[in-house]
Structure 1
Amino acid sequence: MKKVLGLSIVLTVAPVAQAADIDVGKATVATVCAACHGPTGVSVSDTIPNLAAQRTGYLEAQLKALKEGTRKNPIMNAIAAQLSPEDMANVAAYFAAQPGPQAGAKSSFLPNVAKTRVTFPEGYKDTFTKYHTINFPATKQVRYYYANKAAVQAAKEGKPLPDGSMLFAEVYAAKLDADRKPLMGGDGFFVAEKLLFYTAMARGAGWGNEMPDMLRNGDWNYAIFTTDKQHRPGVNQAECLACHKPLDNASYTFTLKQLVEAK
């Protein structure tokens, strides 16, 4: 308390924020962020931004917005939700301390997340159950979902999907009308016109061991296949892992309810 001209004035001192710990931030990056943004902020993909040499305040603000959901990104919303304010400060400080990447630089971390153990399920139409269809208006696509016997049986028994489970989808471009809008079939789904690619998720014993804990989906691996049944090059599995991460209570699947109802 201080007296000025006979008046008592209470001086309030704002608490001093704890300094960020770059070393702790480095450890968090190695186990969480590196899967997509690389261990030094040089991203693993042309579709993911580099974070090296970004300003600390900017990085913290973006992580906070992603955690609160005011900035929308399904993958990063799921990751940021798991970070404390201290985590965000440390990660931001670490990335800000890294030198900016040279033009065209690629992270050496890419092989770790591009690798998948999922193989194309030859003959799936004869052995899998077709259990769901979804329209995707934003991309003018329709997807048909299939599941193997192990997945269907476990879902119907109310058990977590076990090793050996596989969920598979055919992705088609919808047929368009004269106004470039998808044509709707009598079943309420877009009329499929052209096969674009396949997606798959499968799990096997120990398949998740190499994944960071904050990304790991049990032992699930993911894959995208071209129309000639080959792995699509350049796919970053970490993006799938982050998107499915919040679904741990549903065997990391978006369509478990439909799988239970499969005929």
Structure 2
Amino acid sequence: MKCHVVNIEDLRWLLGHTGGFRGGYVTDVQVSKRRLLDEASGREVPAGTTVTVVIRYRIHQMSRVAKLTMTGVTDFSMFEQEGADCSTLGVIQAELNEGKLRFWFDPQGELYVVCEEAQLEEVAAPDLEPLSLEQVAQWTFQSGMPDWPTVAWMLAELDVAGVPCVWRATTSSPGRHPAIQWEGDLIPASMQGTANIAGVHCLLYGPLDGPGFGMVLRVRGIQDRRTGQVLSLLADLIARRFSGQCLVGNTIIPGEDWQNWKSFEQQRRTDG
């Protein structure tokens, strides 16, 4: 989901939609300064500052990762005194004053941004069993498209790709989030019958924040080569077939950039 914030109505929507990011925490802050060549002087001159803040928070039984990109920044402060931590949020404060957006991300004002406009990008999913990054490989996708992936489509595509799988549906529980449409595990056919095989857990949910759907692919514990292959291949198939945004860790990636981002990360790990 993407939304531009340029006027007071947009700002009210942002604070209402996010609940002011109550109880969330900042995972990343990035400052980018553009410079352009001034042909008259032959020198590079400042051409704008952008500040990006990534926030993880929960609202309405949904876990959300939001990237707030603030452009045309005219004032920015990030100051943590000894022992202080401005990453933990209460409720952010924001206002529109003299055509400028002002954001206070913590009560002490240690993370503060004044900008001309902002853009919210967000990926949300129902709360799942909390696991550390060492315990789980997870890929989330959110799309505004009205048609959703089906189990039959996934099985057919994996079969064509030469990685046939079988489907093991998860029984619905009374406390399951109402947005969840279906969930279950994809087990590589070559591993069928093997003891203690979790496979790739797939969960489809929607509609959420308007039309469309979201999907979570998850492998718990140490990845077997074959389950890792299924997760990677299925993520590629979904990102190619549907327009939307991918989420890996705290990074939101446009679906059309997924392949390039994955190749870059694989190369970075190889070089490292």
- Quickly name the TM-score band, shorter chain normalised: under 0.3
TM-score (norm 2): 0.26
Higher strand residue share = 2
TM-score (norm 1): 0.27
